[in-house]
Structure formats: structure tokens, C-alpha cells
Amino acid sequence: GSEGSGNATIGKPMANTRIYLLDAHQQPVPYGVTGEIFIGGDGVARGYLNLAEVNAERFLADPFSNSPDARMYKTGDLARYMADGR
């Protein structure tokens, strides 16, 4: 965004990566509405070593993927899509 606007754009996902902006029920939010960032795709790990409780909170089944073993990572960060797709 412009300097001093309080907005920053983060770009687009890398190849084989999906970014989801989801509400509290893990449903996609409309453009302009703030949601939590989830990352899906081939690069998402299965979890952290020896941190089962954190893994259960952060590494979730990806309901938007056609792959039955797909995972998505719950970042805890908030964002919104702009009307122009950024």
C-alpha cells in the first residue's frame, strides 16, 4: 500500500501453494472482509516434531483440496482481499 496508509499488500502465492482467507468457521470470506490466513498446497508440512498439541491446532485437513491427505496451515494472521484481487 501507500506509505502511511496502514495497508500492506503481500503479493500472490507461489506455485503449488494456495492461500485461503477464512472466517471463524473455516469458511471463505468475501472480498473486503477480514479473515484468517490459511496456507494450503504441496509445501505444507505434516507438523512440528514432537508438538502434537500445536499440530492439532495449526495443521488441519484441507477441505478445499481434492487430495484426501492434504493439509492447511493456520497462520493466526489476519488479512483481506482487496476489490482488485490483491
Express each pLDDT in 32-62 by its tens digit: 999 999 999 999 999 999 999 999 999 999 9
Asked if residue 56 is part of any domain, the answer here is yes
Task: Give the pLDDT score at 75.
Answer: 97
Asked if residue 6 is part of any domain, the answer here is no
Least confident span in 13-27, 41-55, 72-86: 72-86
- Give the range of the structural domain holding residue 53, as residue numbers without chain letter: 17-79
Asked if residue 34 is part of any domain, the answer here is yes
Percent of the chain, pLDDT > 90?
Answer: 77
- Closest by CA to 36, choosing from 47, 45, 24, 46, is 24
Asked if residue 67 is part of any domain, the answer here is yes
Asked if residue 4 is part of any domain, the answer here is no
Task: Give the pLDDT score at 83.
Answer: 77
Using DSSP's 3-state secondary structure scheme, residue 47 falls into coil
pLDDT at 23 over 80: yes
Task: Give the pLDDT score at 1.
Answer: 46
Number of domains present in the structure of the chain: 1
Asked if residue 11 is part of any domain, the answer here is no
Look up the CATH number of the domain holding residue 44: 2.30.38.10
Asked if residue 54 is part of any domain, the answer here is yes
Task: Give the pLDDT score at 5.
Answer: 59
Question: In the chain, what are the helix, strand and coil shares in percent, each to the nearest 5?
Answer: 10, 30, 60
